[in-house]
Structure 1
Amino acid sequence: MDQVQSCARCPNTTRNPTVRILPSGLCAICHWWAESPHASIRRRELQHVRALAGGGRGEVDALVGLSGGKDSTATLVRVLKMGFTPVAITFDTGYYPAHITQRAARVAAQLGVRHEVVDLRPHIQPEDRASYVLTAELYDREETPLLAERFRELYLLGRERYSVKQREPMAYVRTCQLCRRLVVPAYHREAARHGARVFFLGTNEWVGLSQNPGNGRYTFSAVRRLQPPGAHEPVLVVHLPFLLGAGLEDTVSVLREVGWEPPAGERVVESSANSCLLGRVAEAKAARLLGFHPDTVRLAREVTCGFLPREEAERALAAPHEATGSVRQVLTGAGILS
């Protein structure tokens, strides 16, 4: 078996079959980041986004995804400081912990922002529901070397079919991709409903990565333009902490201003499964069968772009959440599976 190689900057290793370590000692993503003019790109994007304040069709000019966690709370504070008049939106899939909605409502009330809970389940398409079924069936299977091989195959396929434009049903090893099929269309749908032109998210890494055919360098963007077929206007999805070049300490500083503290039993930095019941029941099994934590790539990106110290990411990845119940039970409880 080949020796496992590790990136010199982030937690990525070659245990993940999609990771390549280059002669520089960096994984490909970190290498591209080091060569990218990302700072100048973000300055231009920030200027454009700031100009959208006051640009809604009515009083509301922005939406902010709000869970009440550290990233979304700090993002709401920052959006208000930028001069926007936002509505805070909490999506409901039926499998987020109950405290998410309650905590988001408290944060919005404290900051004087209107808060809405949007149930995404009525918008589940047949092919999405089929993917939920296939994912439950996958996680129902007994852990064997054969299943481990299948998990790795499906992990690779999931990376190839990451775009929400890919509508073919499939089983997802990373259950976050099931949510993504629901929330990305909802960004545009909800922004258009409110007459807003921008949807802010508290995501600490880029929203887009593309290669310049002229010089071969990669562009890391904080802004994504969404305009589904038939839509009259685009909506910009903005990863605000990344756009601002914020680090973890910057976010903690913003949180101190409003007296935010992690809920009991939570640390400031956690894997995605901390705030999703579906991810929680899948995480440990996926980590065992893959041979690496399924959230490694996401947290590695936060390290790559300077938001998160490597040791914080590695601590969050060191102990996958163990949970009672199963993927099927969670989805049945959410009313997605019968």
Structure 2
Amino acid sequence: MQNPDARKQIEIKNLNLTFNKGKKNENKALDNVSFDIYEGETFGLVGESGSGKTTIGRSILKLYVTDSGEIDFEGQDVQTMKKKELAAFRHKAQMIFQDPQASLNGRLTVENILGEGLDQAGYSKDKKKRRQKVLDLLHMVGLNEDHASRYPHEFSGGQKQRIGIARALAVKPKFIIADEPISALDVSVQAQVVNLLAKLQKDHGLTYLFIAHDLAMVKYLSDRIGVLHWGKLVELGTADQVYNHPLHPYTKSLLSAVPEPDPVKEKARRVQSYDPSFEKDGQERHMVEVEKGHFVLGTEAEVDRYKDEQR
């Protein structure tokens, strides 16, 4: 759970990003997005494909340069960092990728894959220490010494993702962006990887931005959840608030699509359709705090209606 006395580690303020600006295929990927992530918490970011989740993660690491807005990490604006500052920042912030196969170099052994990060941290001068650190990282993610000499194609999907997690941990980061880290894995393996992430967070005091489209899994792991639609943050609150007391119709639609483990409840479940046409009416919409820590996007009239529907 999030520590109530924790300080802000990431502050995202009024972030805007448009791809292919000025062209026919112009795409507004992020639209005035603002939220904070606190030290030691897991902030879940959910939404359908194309909603802007991964774009936010990549923007935080300055893999994308935004049009406007700020991304502050421990008081420093990431967008204005130069080469040296950026290199130091990326020791503190790392990413776990969605597809473990595509993110691992198939020509390198696991030892060399993990060693690349260690070399950046200065372990390359001492081969013995470097080797021991690789073995420590493998042990940390539930793999063993024999795996160090193998190549990525020799592992299952879950094992490959464990290697990806170990690589992210190699430089001892404080903050990790987990970009749909379980969506490419078998259902039987997903819970193992999620439990590993939870254990690593507890053991090492990590902060996570957990990106996913599965609200049920995000609720299990997250302290707070932000819901994205068309590049806009439409709802933000604690996991309990968003999951058990959703306000925005888009959030309700997402939740209605979550399968129920109980066959009787699953048979009775009805998916709520979402009509986004009202979002294009030209009216100004702002994030409004409906209850402590629970925000929803809307006009004044819409927010009043959302409140009434909750009563």
TM-score by length of 1: 0.27
TM-score by length of 2: 0.28
Q: Which has the higher strand share?
A: 2
Q: Which has the higher contact order (CA 8 A, sep 6+)?
A: 1
